[in-house]
């Protein structure tokens, strides 16, 4: 069955047919990958074949494997997804790496982290997992996304260190944080229709749409950063292709010093770390 699935995925132009076939078959059978080696495929029951076939058809129709499984690995941790959350991207691990590189733990108090537009909670929870004793707040405009983030926090045993609140970015908060992160929607509105179908048809548009030039969220976030960060606190923001120059300009206007522009896995500028001037 696995080979047959891989052949069909190859024919339909899926980029990683063998991997997708393996993951979907494991999910259909409810087993770990190692069990596929130990259990001969001929022994699949009719129900198991039907389940695998149903997953295959969804993948052939363009649904990403992570959406079919309802899960995605990020920073070595497993995150549940729903239709209100972005599917976390490997490139966003650059944000976590950059934040950890520049973060200096405060003396005598717990680090406080704010994640604006938290989605699954992947950035906040990865940071809390890495920063001993840190406490964090994740906000999102979507209640449904926040429900998923809370579930993910509980599944990772981080629910006592993570709180989630429905809010329009950070305007409702007056707390001060050592670290503020955000991966806001940054696709220019007119470009959404031309995205890959895996993105366009399965990621929520509220997680993609950054307004006319894709920069609307940064105009708000950079302005709010000054009121949300403690003295010496840092902000770390993900951005999209070709937005670096405009973002440098927005940072300058908001009186932020740029500490680093970090590159993603493909060597493209992807993350900006800033500090209040
Ligand atoms: C690109 S997704 C990032 C999700 C997650 N942080 C990640 O990296 O996978 C942007 C998130 O911002 C949220 N969002 C959009 N506009 C918002 C606003 N005005 N205030 C708060 N959150 C917002 C969306 O619902 C979405 O979850």
Ligand 1 center to residue 205 CA distance, Å?
A: 10
Q: pTM, whole model, 2 decimals?
A: 0.94
SS3 73: strand
Q: In a mutational test of the pocket of ligand 1, which residue from 141, 192, 210 has the highest number of ligand atoms less than 8 Å from its CB? A: 141
Q: Is 221 exposed, middle or buried (0-12, 13-18, 19+ CB in 10 A)?
A: buried
**How far apart are the C-alpha atoms of 198 and 195, rounded to whole Å?**
8
Q: Where are the alpha helices (DSSP H) in the chain?
A: 2-11, 17-29, 33-38, 46-60, 65-69, 93-102, 122-130, 143-155, 197-200, 216-228, 244-253
- Each residue of 227-236: b (16+ CB within 10 Å) or e? ebbeeebbbb
What's the distance, Cα to Cα, between the start and end of the chain in Å? 60
Binding residues for S-adenosyl-L-methionine are 117-121, 140, 169, 183
- The answer to whether 183 and 217 have CB atoms below 8 angstroms apart is no
Give the closest residue to 138 by CA, choosing from 151, 222, 98. 151
> How many CB atoms sit inside 10 A of residue 212's CB?
10
- Cβ atoms < 10 Å from Cβ of 174: 8
Domains in the chain, please, with CATH? 2-61 (no CATH), 81-276 (3.40.50.150)
Closest CA to 146 of 206, 202, 99, 197: 206
Q: ipTM score of the complex? A: 0.99
pLDDT tens across the length of the chain (277 residues)? 888 999 999 999 998 999 999 999 999 988 887 777 776 555 778 898 899 999 999 999 999 999 999 999 999 999 999 999 999 999 999 999 999 999 988 888 999 999 999 999 999 999 999 999 999 999 999 999 999 999 999 999 999 999 999 999 998 887 799 999 999 999 999 999 999 999 999 999 999 999 999 999 999 999 999 999 999 899 999 999 999 999 999 999 999 999 999 999 899 999 999 999 9
Strands lying side by side in the sheet with 229-238: 162-166, 135-140, 112-116, 177-182, 229-238, 269-276, 256-263
Ligand 1: residues within 6 Å at CB? 86, 88, 92, 117-120, 122-123, 139-142, 145, 168-169, 183-185, 206-207
CA–CA dist 11, 34 (Å, integer)? 26
* Closest atom of ligand 1 relative to the 220 alpha carbon: 19
Strand-strand pairing, 77-80 and 71-74: antiparallel
- 184 CA to centre of ligand 1 in angstroms: 5
- Counting from 1 in the atom list of ligand 1, the atom nearest the Cα of 74 is 9
User: CA of 33: how far to CAs of 52, 98, 116, in Å?
Assistant: 14, 32, 35
Between CA 67 and CA 46 the distance in angstroms is 24
State the distance from the centre of ligand 1 to the C-alpha of 102, rounded, in angstroms.
Answer: 23
From the CA of 144, how far away is ligand 1's center (Å)? 12
CB hemisphere CA count around 97 (13 angstroms): 16
How far does residue 148's CA lie from ligand 1's centre (Å)? 13
Ligand 1 atom showing the smallest separation from residue 118 Cα: 6
The residue whose CA has the least distance to atom 27 of ligand 1 is: 119
To the nearest whole number, what is the mean pLDDT of the chain?
A: 94
């Amino acid at each position: 069955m696995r080979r047959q699935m891989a052949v069909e995925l190859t024919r339909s132009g899926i980029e990683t047919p063998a991997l997708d076939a393996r993951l979907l078959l494991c999910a259909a059978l409810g087993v770990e990958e190692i069990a596929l080696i130990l259990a001969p495929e001929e022994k699949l029951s009719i129900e198991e074949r039907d389940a695998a076939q149903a997953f295959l058809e969804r993948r052939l129709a363009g649904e990403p494997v992570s959406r079919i499984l309802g899960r995605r690995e990020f920073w070595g941790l497993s995150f549940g997804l729903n239709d209100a959350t972005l599917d976390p991207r490997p490139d966003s691990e650059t944000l976590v790496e950059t934040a950890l590189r520049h973060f200096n733990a405060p003396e005598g108090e717990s680090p406080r982290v704010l994640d604006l537009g938290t989605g699954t909670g992947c950035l906040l929870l990865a940071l809390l997992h890495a920063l001993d004793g840190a406490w964090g707040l994740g906000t999102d405009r979507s209640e449904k996304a926040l429900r998923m983030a809370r579930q993910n926090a509980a599944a990772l045993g981080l629910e006592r260190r993570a709180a989630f609140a429905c809010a329009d970015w950070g305007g409702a908060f007056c707390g001060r944080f050592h670290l503020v992160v955000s991966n806001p929607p940054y696709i220019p509105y007119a470009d959404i229709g031309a995205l890959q179908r895996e993105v366009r048809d399965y990621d929520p548009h509220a997680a993609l749409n950054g307004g006319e030039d894709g920069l609307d969220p940064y105009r708000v976030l950079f302005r709010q950063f000054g009121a949300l960060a403690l003295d010496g606190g840092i902000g770390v923001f993900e951005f999209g292709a070709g937005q670096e120059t405009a973002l440098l300009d927005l940072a300058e206007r908001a009186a932020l010093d740029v500490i680093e522009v970090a590159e993603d896995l493909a060597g493209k500028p992807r993350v900006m770390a800033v500090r209040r001037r």
